[in-house]
Structure formats: C-alpha cells, structure tokens
Amino acid sequence: MTRIESGKRWAIPFLLALLSTPIAGLSESWPMDKVNDSLTVRGSTQIAAGVSGKSLVLKGDSLIELNDSARLTSGTFTVSLWFNPYNLAGGQQMLAGKNRYSRNERQWSLTIEPNGKLKAFLWQNGWRTISCVQPLKAGAWHLATLVVAQDMAALFLNGKPAGEVKLETPTVATQSPITLGGIWDRKTVRQAFHGALDEFSHQPRALSPVEVNSAYRPISFLHDVPKLTAGFPLWDATQRLPKAAELQQASGAKFHVIKKKRPDTDGAKFTLGVGLAWHKEKLYASYAFNKGPENTPTEEAHVKVSNDGGKSWGPPVVMDAGEGDLAVSHGVFLSHQGKLWAFMGAFYAHTRLYHRVHTRAYVLNETSGQWEPRGAVLEGGFWPMQEPLKMPDGNWIMSGFRIGSHYGGPGNLPAVAISQGDDFTKWDPIVIPAAGSLGNIWGESTVIVEDKRILNIARYGKKALALLSVSEDHGRTWTPAAVSNLPMATSKPYAGILSTGQRYLVCTTTADTGGRRSPLTISLSKPGESAFSKVFLIRTSISDQTPGVSARNADFSYPYAVEHDGKLYIGYTHKSHMANELAIVPIRSLKIEP
C-alpha cells in the first residue's frame, strides 16, 4: 500500500476507502460527569472539572467498566477518549482496552507507556503497536483516537496523526468489556491509570483524518496535579535502562539450593522470605514454611545452616511453630557481639488476613542449636524486611512495613524501627507517610544508610515502580514516600552498600518486564554515588547453570543479600515452585567500568 510519509499521515487510497465506508450501526458515547447505570466502577472515583462539565478521577487503583460493551469494536470502528494524566512516571497505564489476559482475550489497548507517551496495541496473533512520539503533559487534557479498518489502524493524539500499522486480519471482538483506566482481570485492577477521564466514544466505522481532527478542541485549563515523584532520582537519567534481553551477566555467579522445590519430603505448600546471615563462619538461612496456604495459622519459621558457604545445607530447624492461633513467618537475622538474633514477622489467626501483625525476637542457643524466644518486641503491625543496620548515632535501624488494616492507620506503608542502643528488645516504630494520591501501597521496604541520611526504597504495590523516601536525621523523620524513576518488580526489594562503596538493589529492574519477578537483577551505583547507573543480570528463569528450579514460570521473590569474604550471597524464593535458593556473586564482577 502506498503511503505519504509513512507514520505521519494516512495513505491516499486508504483515506478514500475510509470516506466511502458505509455507516453500520449507531455511534455511542459514555460521558464521565458522574457514575450512572451505564458504568461499573471497580474501586472508587472522584469528581473533577472535565472537558465539558465534569470528569471522573481515578487514583491508580480503580477502573471504569462500560456496561454492555463486549459486543463493540469488531471489524471496523473508531474509539476516542479524553484523558488527563497525573503521573507520567507511573509505569504502563491503561487508558482504554478490551482485554482479559487470564482468559486469553486480547484485542486492543490505548496506554501511557513508562516513557510518558501514548501507544496503541492491536492483537494480530501477537501485539502490533503504534507509538506516539509527542510527549504528554501531566495535568493537561488530551484526546486519544484509535481508528481501525479491515487492513489498517491509525492512532491520533489531539486530532493529529501519530502513526499507523498494517493489519493482517480484521479485529474480532473479545468477550471482555471495554474498560477505562485499567484492565479488570481475575478480580484485580491491572495497569491502573492515575488521572481524570472524560467522554469515551465508539463509532462502528473508520473516521477520516478530517473527522478525527474536527472532533478535537484545545482545552486550556489544567488540573492541579498532586506531587507524586521523589525529590531526586534513584536511576541516573543520563544512562539508558536496559531491557531484559540486553542485560550484562554478572560473571562468576554460582547457584545452590537451600530448600528443594515441590514435591519435597517436607510437605510444604508455601514458602517465602529467605533471610541470610553469616555467624561464626556458618551461613544461616531462615524462611516461612507452611503445609497449608500462605498466611494461615499453620505458618512456621524454619532455619537451615550451611558449613560450606552455601553449597550444602543441614536439616531444617523449627525456630517457632507458634501455638494456638499464633503463626510465625519470615524475618531477618543480626549477628552481634557473639550472638545471633532473629526478628520474625508474626500474626494471629482471624477471618481477616494479617491480624495483629507484630515482630518477635529470638536468640540462638549455640549449644543446643535451638532458638530461645525473647517475645514480641514490636507491635502495631510492623513486619521486618531487612536486618538491623548500625547508624552513626549508635542506634540500629530495621526496615520493613506496617500492615495498618487492624490498627486504624492509612494503608500498608513503609516503616522502620529504631533500637534503643544495643537493646534489641526495645524498638521505636516509625511509619513513613505516603505522598498524596498514591493509591494502594504494599510498602515492604529496605534502607541504605549513608551516615545520618538514609534512603528508604519500598515496593509500591501493584505498580512496578520503586517508592523513595529520605531521612536526614537518623531515621526519625522522613519525606513522604513518593514514586521514583526506577522500575522495579512488585516484590520486596533488598538494598545496601558494598565494600566497594557501591549502592546496590536486588530485585527485578529492567525497561520492559514490568511487575514480573524475573529475571533476577542487581542495580548498582558508582562508588559513593546514590543513583543507580548499571544493572547486571544474576539469572534468568530458565537456566542451565543451576541445580535448582529452571522453568519458564520460575520467579525470584523476596530477595535478601549479605556480603562476606568478597562475595555477595543472595537468597530468593521461587514462590511458584515452593523452593528457596542461593546465588553467590563475586564482588569484583559488579564493578562498573568507565
């Protein structure tokens, strides 16, 4: 097909075909001035000024479903939507789509990409895409229009052509409804949008470029956008963040099994949260263990010990199996002054999950090999995620998060606990506030102690971006946790400072894997710098270098790390396979070359 400046304007034959396309059916529109019988809201909305009248605001954890819309957008059609984005650093955000991934229902999408630009997706036994080069503006109104014909589709932004793509087969309507602001899949909001939405329209024909342009009118007024982004970057913006396939392998990495995958002889149906510690030349690993489902009263804290640097492991020792309705789960270690401490998350049985979450302390009896309880040392919903770190003021800081549903607090926010000197039975919990309008948070966090300044890096929740908060007074007060510029999987992260002076973060960080917990990566800074500027690959899901799990669905959940004798020991859970494993990476292989 002949084009005039491909990607910039429609081909003349195609334009003539559009103008001659007969109208089949009637156009339909859904105003967003209020929630009415034509809409189903999954979550909550707010009212704000719109393009004409009012609009509906989504806070990044809700979506709008168009009732009786599954029958629409088959063959030839045009859809358009007014949108006002509040957060252009919020990862991939769905403006409108007709997909339900778990049922293999994929048809089309309009998204805001992590680069802050508009993109269209069309299913052709694989996604065909149209990318817009024009950047979007937070707080401003934009009109996105997708025109689909039998053999061609085109994307328009604010009435102007943004690009086009050839279609091999006509689009066929899926059984899923059209949703705005996210995809509703398995009773979960996916790819959630943060901002305002106004009128969505559907026409059962392909509009001409002239018609698309005539439907647009500039909107001058702006929305006040809540401050969501962190004050300084976690990722060095002068460096390109690599895609998964572009990652450089950390050389010399070795892999070992801590707990075998199912079916193991221990009967585990759940495990998570490896904690690691070197103590008197032995490597200790703890983890949650359950013969029942996750977060139920049968959860136990287990420990294994390796005498050969992680190559082989002894039998599991039950640190605490709980009693009655008490369950003890995963946590952290601290080796200090000849004693090995453990701080474990715990909860009580209840019809609601995470009831009366608290932290319990234990000390290893090295004669008997058993763990002696010191009781609950932190109440109020605090769950530890990183071992205590010594601060220059003489106190220790332990990072985690506060599960607030039973304590009257807002959300499951990042939190830290500060010791009273070397007394590890007395801690002051400090909940880190969140920037306004972040929506739902699951703030499992880790800290980097830089003298009196401390960085707290937290999981956002369902969004694949790291949250960042900063303290300048030894962890006593914090800037609100805000969205950083670092993509990060929706898993607990782990960070620290290597002996080289490099800051590091273990999780999954790439330009294209979103919330998936694979591959396992380590982000690094240059010595003495705070911003990460290099990402190394530790391992992929399918690997011939490991004696453990190698499978397409192998995930790397809840990583943990400890440096010892020139190596970084990284523990992680294959949650999908009920296995805990270990990677050992030479520190020299993590050097950033100029």
**How far apart are alpha carbons 30 and 158 in whole angstroms?**
19
**How far apart are alpha carbons 74 and 440 in whole angstroms?**
35
Q: What angle do CA 373, 375, 380 make, to 5 degrees?
A: 145
Higher pLDDT, 265 or 103: 103
Higher pLDDT, 405 or 288: 288
Give the SS3 label for residue 331.
Answer: strand
Whether the CB-CB separation of 302 and 316 falls below 8 Å is answered with yes
Domains of the chain, by residue range, sit at 12-214, 244-590
pLDDT at 228: 64
Stated as kind and residue range, the H or E segment containing 210 is: helix 209-214
Pick the CATH number of 12-214 from 2.60.120.200, 3.40.50.800, 3.40.50.300, 3.30.1370.60: 2.60.120.200
Residue 21's pLDDT band, with cuts at 50, 70 and 90, is very low
pLDDT at 15: 43
Residue 506's pLDDT band, with cuts at 50, 70 and 90, is very high
Which has the minimum average pLDDT: 214-228, 260-274, 303-317, 403-417? 403-417
Residue 405's pLDDT band, with cuts at 50, 70 and 90, is low
Whether the CB-CB separation of 301 and 320 falls below 8 Å is answered with yes
pLDDT at 351: 67
Residue 411's pLDDT band, with cuts at 50, 70 and 90, is confident
| Mean pLDDT score across all residues of the chain | 91
What is the mean predicted confidence (pLDDT) over 153-161? 97
Whether the CB-CB separation of 125 and 50 falls below 8 Å is answered with no
Whether pLDDT at 152 is above 90: yes
Which numeric CATH code is attached to 244-590?
A: 2.120.10.10
Residue 230's pLDDT band, with cuts at 50, 70 and 90, is confident
Whether pLDDT at 393 is above 70: yes
Whether pLDDT at 23 is above 70: no
pLDDT at 69: 95
Whether pLDDT at 98 is above 80: yes
What would the 3-class secondary structure string for 388-410 be? Answer: CEECCCCCEEEEEEECCCCCCCC
pLDDT over 70, % of the chain: 94
pLDDT at 25: 54
Distances (CA, A) of 349 to 321, 383, 406: 13, 16, 13
pLDDT tens for 510-546 read 999 989 999 999 999 999 999 999 999 999 999 999 9
**How far apart are alpha carbons 209 and 161 in whole angstroms?**
8
Higher pLDDT, 360 or 52: 360
Residue 318's pLDDT band, with cuts at 50, 70 and 90, is very high
Give the SS3 label for residue 102.
Answer: helix
Residue 5's pLDDT band, with cuts at 50, 70 and 90, is very low
pLDDT at 54: 96
Give the SS3 label for residue 17.
Answer: helix
pLDDT tens for 453-486 read 999 999 998 789 999 999 999 999 999 999 899 9
What is the mean predicted confidence (pLDDT) over 347-357? 81
pLDDT over 90, % of the chain: 80
pLDDT at 190: 86
Residue 186's pLDDT band, with cuts at 50, 70 and 90, is confident
Whether pLDDT at 91 is above 50: yes
